[in-house]
Structures are given as structure tokens and as C-alpha cells.
């Protein structure tokens, strides 16, 4: 298993790799459009736009993630136990207490987001608070705080914005080509249709691939790091089993594919049976059974 410091360094490199890859992707699109339309302004616009998107994703992605999840600040007087758990585990981890948010949803789940430790936030659903015992809730919060200390949160938050934008871009190209692009120039319409179809096919595949590369190993490491914080791996293991079972019956209402990798468990539903090797290739979360087994080995 990778060490904490190796993983922090790896996540930093992955963040810059994601930023660089997005820059190249948008600039290539701009170059292709500028070549066809014989206009350098399109290429310059693509460069400026990609820079603005990356800067925006860096500074505001955590706010976008919280907003898209329907998370609201948790009043301390109403959620005193939750705040107490977050504060105690933050002290144990040696970080400042992150902001605490609550999502009004009966499906149990949680995630952490933020640009860094100073802007970090932990969000949990009301269903999670209602379902879990204190030791189990501590395990979940420790897992999310581990994401903060492992430098996972910026990477996963930026993916929300950039993957979401690529999806919107593919939809724009496809709709523009089908309903407006071909009216003036048949060749332009054909090219835009091809680009739109290609993006529509490739963007969800690319989104899943990006999410998988940042999700599986970091979930195992956050499980292990969280268990070290609480010194009670059974708490998180029991929580994961409860969350997985409940999610199968009641998926998260405001879940979407751009944010699914952020949650502690798949927000679209748990596993009805042991996933096949092919299924695992397209999963953003490791199978719950494997995570529980790994936690039990830490006892």
C-alpha cells in the first residue's frame, strides 16, 4: 500500500496532469476550428477560455460541488454531535476543522471537497446521520478527513467542473450541428456533426476513465487512513455495509455522473451481487466487500 506522503505527491501530479490535459484538449479543438474557418481568433479564444476554465475550476470547484449536491451549512446547535466528531477527528489528524455541510436526503452518503485544508468542507446526508451509530459515523468522517490530508479533495473537485464541462461541450456540438450548424454550409454542418457525435461518445468514456484513475486507490487509502485515525476499523466497515445496502434501495436524489466519484459510496446504488471483472473496469468505487475485507485486515 502506498505511503501517505507518496500519495499526496501523486495526487499533486495528477492535479497538474488534469489541468494540462484539459488545456491541450481545448486548445486542440480551437486549433481545428481555427484551421477550418481560417481564423486565428478562434485559437486565441480557445487558449484564453481553457485558462479561464482551469483557474475557475481551481478556485471555485469545491463551491460548485457543494451546490450541485444541494449541501447547506450545518448549524452547530442543531448538529452538535456531528460538529463534535468532525472537530475531534480534525485535531487527531492535525488539521483545522473543515466546514460542515448537510444534504437533505434519506440516502446515506458523504463526501469531502475543497481547494486545500484551509477551504475544506465535509458534507453528509441526513440519511447518514439517522442510520449510523456514533462509531460508524466517526469512521465515515475519518475517511473524509483522510481525503483532505491526502490531498485528494482538489483533484476530485476539479474533475467535477472539467468533466461536467466536457459533457456540456459535447452536447453543444451535437445540438448545434443537428439544429443549426448545417443551415448555412453543408460541410460545416457535417464536420460539427462528426465532432459532436465523437464527443458525445467519447466524453462519458473519458469522464469514467478519469474518475476511475483518481477514485479506486484513493478510496482504499482513505479507508486505511481513516481507520488509523479512529483506531476502530470495524466502525467504518459496518458503515460501508449499511450505506451500500441502503443505496441499493434508495439512490441519492441529486447524484450525477460528474460528482459520483466524490462520495464515499456509489450514490446511484450498491452492489446486488459480486461484480464481474468487466464490471470492475467501469466502477468509480471499489467493491464494498473488498473495502470491508481490507479494513478487517487492519485489526
Residues whose CB is less than 8 angstroms from the CB of residue 9 and which lie 6 or more positions away in sequence, other chains included:
none
* CA distance linking residue 113 with residue 22, whole number of Å: 20
Enumerate helices (H) and strands (E) in the chain, giving the number of each: 10, 4
Asked if residue 64 lies in contact with residue 44, where contact means CB atoms within 8 angstroms, the answer is no
Which candidate in 76, 77, 87, 144 is catalytic?
144
* CA distance linking residue 144 with residue 139, whole number of Å: 9
Residues whose CB is less than 8 angstroms from the CB of residue 151 and which lie 6 or more positions away in sequence, other chains included:
7, 8, 11, 12
**C-alpha cell recorded at residue 242:** 449499511
Q: What angle do CA 185, 190, 194 make, to 5 degrees?
A: 150
- 235 sits in which H/E element: helix 233-249
Q: What is the CA radius of gyration of the chain?
A: 21
Q: What does residue 56 show for φ and ψ, rounded to 5 degrees?
A: -65, -40
Residues whose CB is less than 8 angstroms from the CB of residue 224 and which lie 6 or more positions away in sequence, other chains included:
1, 294, 295, 298
CA of 162: how far to CAs of 138, 150, 251, in Å?
31, 21, 24
Asked if residue 166 lies in contact with residue 154, where contact means CB atoms within 8 angstroms, the answer is no
DSSP class of 263 = B
Known active-site residue 87: no
Asked if residue 270 lies in contact with residue 289, where contact means CB atoms within 8 angstroms, the answer is no
Residues with catalytic annotation? 144
Amino acid at each position: 500500500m502506498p505511503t501517505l506522503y507518496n500519495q499526496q505527491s501523486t495526487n499533486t501530479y495528477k492535479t497538474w496532469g488534469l489541468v494540462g490535459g484539459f488545456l491541450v484538449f481545448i486548445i486542440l479543438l480551437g486549433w481545428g476550428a481555427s484551421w477550418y474557418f481560417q481564423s486565428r481568433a478562434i485559437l486565441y479564444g480557445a487558449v484564453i477560455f481553457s485558462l479561464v476554465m482551469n483557474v475557475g475550476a481551481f478556485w471555485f470547484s469545491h463551491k460548485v460541488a457543494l451546490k450541485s449536491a444541494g449541501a447547506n451549512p450545518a448549524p452547530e446547535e442543531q448538529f452538535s454531535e456531528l460538529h463534535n466528531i468532525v472537530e475531534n477527528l480534525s485535531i487527531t489528524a492535525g488539521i483545522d476543522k473543515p466546514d460542515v455541510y448537510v444534504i437533505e436526503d434519506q440516502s446515506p452518503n458523504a463526501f469531502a471537497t475543497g481547494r486545500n485544508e484551509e477551504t475544506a468542507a465535509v458534507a453528509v446526508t441526513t440519511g447518514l446521520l439517522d442510520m449510523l451509530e456514533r462509531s460508524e459515523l466517526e469512521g465515515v468522517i475519518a475517511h473524509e478527513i483522510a481525503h483532505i490530508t491526502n490531498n485528494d479533495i482538489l483533484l476530485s473537485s476539479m474533475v467535477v467542473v472539467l468533466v461536467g464541462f466536457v459533457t456540456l461541450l459535447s452536447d453543444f456540438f451535437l445540438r448545434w450541428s443537428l439544429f443549426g450548424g448545417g443551415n448555412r454550409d453543408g460541410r460545416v454542418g457535417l464536420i460539427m456533426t462528426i465532432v459532436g457525435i465523437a464527443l458525445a461518445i467519447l466524453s462519458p468514456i473519458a469522464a469514467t476513465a478519469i474518475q476511475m484513475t483518481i477514485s479506486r486507490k484513493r478510496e482504499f487509502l482513505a479507508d486505511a487512513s481513516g481507520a488509523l485515525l479512529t483506531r476502530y476499523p470495524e466502525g467504518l466497515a459496518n458503515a460501508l455495509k449499511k450505506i451500500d445496502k441502503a443505496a441499493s434501495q434508495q439512490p441519492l436524489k441529486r447524484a450525477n455522473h460528474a460528482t459520483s466519484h466524490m462520495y464515499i459510496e456509489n450514490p446511484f446504488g450498491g452492489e446486488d451481487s459480486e461484480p464481474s471483472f468487466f464490471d470492475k473496469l467501469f466502477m468509480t468505487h471499489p467493491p464494498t466487500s473488498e473495502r470491508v475485507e481490507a479494513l478487517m485486515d487492519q485489526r
